[in-house]
Every structure is written in C-alpha cells, then in structure tokens.
C-alpha cells in the first residue's frame, strides 16, 4: 500500500555560475532589482553586502520580497512546472503552485557575489514507494483509489540534490469490520 501524501520542495540556487538561459535572466534581473532597492535602505552608502544591511538597517529583510518582484515574470514562464525536475522519460512533470524567494547573499558593488534561491513546492502527491533512488508517485490524493484496487497513473522522479519531501501525511490503516461470534 502507499506510504502517504507528500509535497516535494526543490530549492533552485541561482548565482553567477548559472549557465541556463532562464537562470541567467533571473540572476541579472534580481541583481538589478536588489541593487536599486538596496539604495533605499543604504542611502548613505555605509553598507556593501546584503548581510550588513540585514544586521544594521531596520526592515532590510523586506529586500527578499522586493527583489522577488524581478523574478515573478520568469516564474510564470515555467507554466507551473518545477524546473530541473524531470521524470524517467526526461520530461518536466512536477506541478507547483507555491514558491518562496530568498536572497542568500549579494553585494552592491560586486554582481558576481549575488546569489538567490527559489524554493518550489509541489502540489500534493501520493507516495507509493521508493525504488532505489527514485520515488514512485501519483499526482494528487490517490489513496482511496489505491485502496479500492483501481488503476492509477504513476510517474517516477529521481531523488537529487536540493529536492526534498517538505510535508508528509501517513496513510491511515483502514479498520477491519469486527464480526460478532
């Protein structure tokens, strides 16, 4: 029987070494937005890094949200499919509806030090089993269909760095009816 309902989280790190076109657009545009927004929090030019701003300027933690606005259009281009996570057939397959954006580090004078993370959260999945380093899943909540012996469509997603199970709801054992003798 299935193990339960899970949601996966993929944390995509984007920095100066990122090679994919989508990644470089996000890198460039989020750096530009960080640079512009940081000027408001650093009007006297006292601080050079994101960390210094966080430690010394009230409400500088808002830079995460303010900078994320530069990535929203690119995230919409993904058509609600988590990037980089493909099934065994090599197709992007994992739908998401939630994400978080985080500035890991940045520097107002050195663009190459800019580093961000976008965490994508999958829709609920039925975790059927793990085969070697691959999750056997079905999309959505399919526990009832499995209990009833119905055939369901499945997919296989390889475990990889930065992909984790972010939530888990265990399959509940069905109580067997008791007979009176």
pTM of the model: 0.90
Specify the pLDDT at position 89. Answer: 94
Contacts of 10 (CB under 8 A, 6+ apart): 82, 83, 84, 85, 94, 119, 120, 122, 162, 163
If one compares 42 and 175, the residue with the highest pLDDT of the two is: 42
Tens digits of per-residue pLDDT, 33-42? 999 999 999 9
Specify the pLDDT at position 1. Answer: 72
Query: Could you tell me the CA-to-CA distances from 149 to 2, 33, 48, 131 in Å, in that order?
Result: 12, 52, 61, 21
Specify the pLDDT at position 178. Answer: 52
The stretch 131-140 carries a mean pLDDT of 95
107 near 49, Cβ under 8 Å?
yes
Structure tokens at 58: 């009230």
Tens digits of per-residue pLDDT, 29-87? 999 999 999 999 999 999 999 999 999 999 999 999 999 999 999 999 999 999 999 99
Residue 125 has pLDDT above 60, yes or no: yes
106-127 b/e with 16+ CB inside 10 Å = b?
Answer: bbbeeeebbbbebbbbbbebbb
Specify the pLDDT at position 32. Answer: 98
- What's the pLDDT band for 180 if we cut at 50, 70, 90? low
């Amino acid at each position: 029987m299935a193990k339960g309902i899970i949601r996966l989280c993929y944390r995509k790190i984007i920095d100066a070494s990122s090679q994919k076109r989508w990644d470089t657009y996000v890198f460039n545009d989020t750096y530009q937005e960080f640079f512009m927004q940081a000027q408001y929090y650093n009007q006297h030019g006292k601080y050079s890094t994101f960390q210094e701003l966080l430690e010394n300027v009230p409400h500088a933690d808002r830079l995460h949200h303010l900078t994320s606005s530069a990535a929203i259009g690119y995230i919409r281009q993904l058509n609600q499919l988590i990037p980089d996570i493909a099934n065994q057939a090599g197709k992007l397959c994992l739908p998401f509806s939630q994400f978080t954006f985080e500035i890991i580090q940045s520097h107002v004078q050195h663009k190459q030090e800019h580093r961000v993370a976008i965490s994508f959260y999958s829709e609920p999945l039925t975790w059927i089993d793990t085969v070697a380093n691959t999750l056997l899943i079905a999309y959505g909540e399919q526990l009832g269909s499995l209990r009833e012996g119905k055939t369901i469509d499945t997919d296989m997603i390889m475990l990889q760095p930065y992909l984790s199970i972010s939530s888990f709801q265990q399959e509940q054992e069905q109580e067997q009816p008791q007979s009176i003798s």
